[in-house]
Amino acid sequence: MQAVQQEIAQQLQVQPPFADAAALEAEVARRVAFIKRCLANARLKTLVLGISGGVDSLTGALLAQRAVTELRAETGDQGYRFIAVRLPYNVQHDEHDAQACLEVIKADEVQTVDIAPAVIGLKDNVADLRTGEPALVDFVVGNVKARMRMIAQYTIAGARQGLVIGTDHAAEAVMGFFTKFGDGACDLAPLSGLVKNQVRAIARSFGAPESLVEKVPTADLEDLAPGKPDEASHGITYQQIDAFLHGEPVSQEVFDIIVATYRKTQHKRELPFAP
């Protein structure tokens, strides 16, 4: 079991647990430097990230805002900007959490794009979605929402000549818990290799309140199950996933669920098939 855990952790470039506060701060500095380097390499000055109200986008945004703030101080160029984007589907049930995140982030700029008209317009023009089995249609439309959110972010980034930040991390990557070409699409993914409790620890180090740090994670894509917790979809907890990725002992059931899901979702972590 441990050999398989180690192999998967290596493939996902999982970072070891933070030894202490100094190690955490060093990792924050490394990831902020990575973001700055991405902008420099692209010769661009703007970062775009959708804010959902969850800890992943909160943490990504805090890193991004620090990066552009440091770049402005280092270069004297006030053109560096971070744009936080709200992407509700009509009215989001936990909008108060999203607004609380924005208060913590203090982004240079906030934009809001309601994706509902675009999602509904597409749904209404696909015959299979008008006649399909309700649960399947709900699932498919959930993926449409995720992809439409990324389209909106890339539209803003294109208009402002910027890069789109993704929020995927190791605990989601191992479970394939992202929409292909939706939230799995981005220009840079500064949370890669972190497990969930490390993402939370970084948000906490920025002073984020515990109500946001420890908020129950939810993709919130299904109309038939609004606010469905990620862990309900996984069948296991993030604590168990983190333990697996850090090589700690887990039950046979947890091991089997993670390994089977990892293998089943391998296509999500690869480039498109080519001859």
Q: What is the pLDDT of residue 207?
A: 98
- Domain-embedded: residue 63: yes
Residue 145 lies in a domain: yes
Let me know: does 123 contact 145? Beta carbons within 8 Å.
no
- Would residue 223 count as lying in a domain? no
Q: What is the pLDDT of residue 256?
A: 98
Domain enclosing residue 203, as ranges? 17-216
**Radius of gyration (C-alpha) of the chain in whole angstroms:** 19
**Residue 10 included in any domain:** no
Chain segment 24-55, per-residue pLDDT in tens:
999 999 999 999 999 999 999 999 999 999 99
Domain count for the chain: 1
User: What parts of the chain have a pLDDT lower than 70?
Assistant: none
pTM confidence score: 0.96
- Across the beta sheet with 162-164, what order do the strands follow? 109-112, 81-86, 46-51, 162-164
The C-alpha atoms of residue 262 and residue 46 are separated, in whole angstroms, by: 34
- Determine, yes or no, domain membership for 12: no
CATH of the domain at 67: 3.40.50.620
Indicate the SS3 state at residue 205: helix
To the query of whether residue 172 is one of the catalytic residues in this protein, the response is yes
Q: Is residue 261 in some structural domain?
A: no
Under DSSP, the state recorded for 249 is -
Any domain includes 228 = no
Residue 209 forms part of a structural domain: yes
Specify the pLDDT at position 93. 84
3-state secondary structure (DSSP) of residue 218? strand
Active-site residue (options: 56, 187, 220, 242): 56
**Where do we find the tokens 């202490």?**
20
d(C-alpha 205, C-alpha 209), whole Å:
10
Give CA–CA dist 198/178, Å, rounded.
19
Set 27, 97, 172, 187: catalytic member: 172
Instruction: Please check whether residue 182 is in contact with residue 147, taking contact to mean a CB–CB distance below 8 angstroms.
Output: yes
Residue 255 has what pLDDT? 98
Q: What pLDDT, in 10s, does the model give residues 115-159?
A: 999 999 999 999 999 899 999 999 999 999 999 999 999 999 999
Q: Which residues are paired to 47 by β-bridges? A: 82, 163
pLDDT at 65: 98
